[in-house]
Amino acid sequence: MSKQIQPVRGMNDVLPADIGAWQHLERIARGVFESYGYAELRVPIVEHTELFKRSIGEYTDIVEKEMYTFQDLGGDSLTLRPEATAGIARAAISNGMLRGARHKLWCLGPMFRHERPQKGRYRQFYQFDLEALGFPGPDVDVELIALTARLWRALQLTRVRLTINSLGTSEARANYRTQLQAYLRAHQGGLDEDSRRRLDGNPLRILDSKQPAMRALIEGAPLLSDYLDPESQAHFAALRAGLDALGVAYEVNPRLVRGLDYYSRTVFEWVTDALGAQDAVCSGGRYDGLITQLGGEPTAAVGFAMGVERVVELLLQAGSVPPAAAPEIYIVVNGERAEREAPRLAEQLRDALPGRGVLLNLGGGNFKTQFRRADRSGARLALILGDSELDRGVAAVKPLRREDGQIDCPLSELPARIASLL
């Protein structure tokens, strides 16, 4: 036997046994997104490396050490997308979608980050991504957050809570950055290696550090909220008032800065206490400067990304996944002529009963084997087609989940009879 090929570490198969929760989430999410006027778009999984460097920022975990970057046969440096916002912004620019127009867009697909795999943290993982382009907010920020709150309700998920913050304009941040750098330099001894490296390039990211040893140091740092410009203050106040008016509960976390460089003003994160260390399920914010940074015309924008695996895990834990649909009819076949006739009968039933699951016994087998398969399939009815039934122009119908006996039914009346039994 030749050696088995292993899956790539941190990249998972979603097996049929688990797909129900994914499909349930996708169905509910699609409905919620569409009810707020978001339209689906699909962008490539691979983009020029430059796109991510310019948008996410050089001094971020993602760009520094998590990207799957390679040279293609034409010599271009390409990267498997680590997130979707950059690609969606790129698509809006390359397709001439902006020009003062407004768009609400959503996207679902796999992202790739070379992180240390653990529960809830994978190297290929899926995200829902929503982006509203051309809306300065804060009304759209409120609506976007209300949409996420509605999604949790529709999914019957309760163990999630919302934290919000404002990062102000880039000028306000530059101002704050100087103060923060001074504070962090004065406490350099307490910083870990990553943070020391970021001190010059991206000191705000240090606030995002999850190192327990640095917690006290971070708690003592100056607060960005004390440096906000008046417009951002007003924007943030309106965001809070909008959420209050809708009854969406939140907590203001002045240390929430988010890992990516392109955010401005609103940032938010939904966290859960049900998944251990991987507690972020949905994170987003406003990124008014990103599209200009990528060569597009100035366009206000806000969006979020939601980790599908983490939400699926919450759904499984909460037991709020509807059971998978079983096939409804299993056709048991006995005899040579019946073997030849059965496929045609199965096709006729699929024509007459669209949307019903019709399984035809494949690969022969005696009655006992076929009934065992019928039982395992979860089907509610067995149809028995044998040569003797064929001679009489009937099939036998036998309920599998009730005690009722088997009855003969003329082939021409089968669809109506089955429909009345299901």
Residue type, 62: I
Residue of this chain nearest to ligand ATP (CB atom): 307
- Shortest Å distance, C-beta 292 to ligand ATP: 22
CA separation for the pair 398, 380 (Å, rounded): 9
- Asked if 51 contacts 96 with a C-beta cutoff of 8 angstroms, the reply is no
Of the two residues 305 and 381, which places its CB atom closer to ligand ATP in the complex?
A: 305
Of the two residues 9 and 401, which places its CB atom closer to ligand ATP in the complex?
A: 9
Strand partners, 128: 108, 306
- Which residues are within 8 A (CB) of 346 and not within 5 positions of it... i.e. 6 or more apart? 331, 358, 360
Tokens representing residue 99 in the block: 């020009």
CA separation for the pair 37, 248 (Å, rounded): 20
- Shortest Å distance, C-beta 367 to ligand ATP: 48
Q: Do the strands 266-272 and 160-166 form a parallel or antiparallel pair, or are they unpaired?
A: antiparallel
- Asked if 123 contacts 117 with a C-beta cutoff of 8 angstroms, the reply is yes
Of the two residues 125 and 371, which places its CB atom closer to ligand ATP in the complex?
A: 125
Of the two residues 82 and 386, which places its CB atom closer to ligand ATP in the complex?
A: 82
Of the two residues 271 and 418, which places its CB atom closer to ligand ATP in the complex?
A: 271
Of the two residues 129 and 341, which places its CB atom closer to ligand ATP in the complex?
A: 129
The residue ranges that bind ligand ATP (CB under 6 A) are 83, 113, 115, 120-122, 125, 127, 259, 278, 280-283, 305, 307, 309-310
Of the two residues 310 and 380, which places its CB atom closer to ligand ATP in the complex?
A: 310
- Shortest Å distance, C-beta 111 to ligand ATP: 7
- Shortest Å distance, C-beta 109 to ligand ATP: 12
Of the two residues 47 and 328, which places its CB atom closer to ligand ATP in the complex?
A: 47
- Shortest Å distance, C-beta 379 to ligand ATP: 37
Of the two residues 158 and 388, which places its CB atom closer to ligand ATP in the complex?
A: 158
Residue 132 CB neighbour total at 10 angstroms: 25
Tokens representing residue 232 in the block: 């951002």
- Shortest Å distance, C-beta 313 to ligand ATP: 10
- Shortest Å distance, C-beta 332 to ligand ATP: 45
- Asked if 153 contacts 315 with a C-beta cutoff of 8 angstroms, the reply is no
- Asked if 301 contacts 134 with a C-beta cutoff of 8 angstroms, the reply is yes
CA separation for the pair 337, 323 (Å, rounded): 37
- Shortest Å distance, C-beta 117 to ligand ATP: 8
**Helical residues (DSSP H) of 257-335, grouped into ranges:** 290-293, 308-318
Residue type, 246: L
CA separation for the pair 420, 422 (Å, rounded): 6
218 CB-side CA count, 13 A: 21
CA separation for the pair 222, 321 (Å, rounded): 44
Helices and strands (H, E) in the chain, number of each type: 15, 16
CA separation for the pair 144, 285 (Å, rounded): 10
- Shortest Å distance, C-beta 151 to ligand ATP: 13
Of the two residues 115 and 229, which places its CB atom closer to ligand ATP in the complex?
A: 115
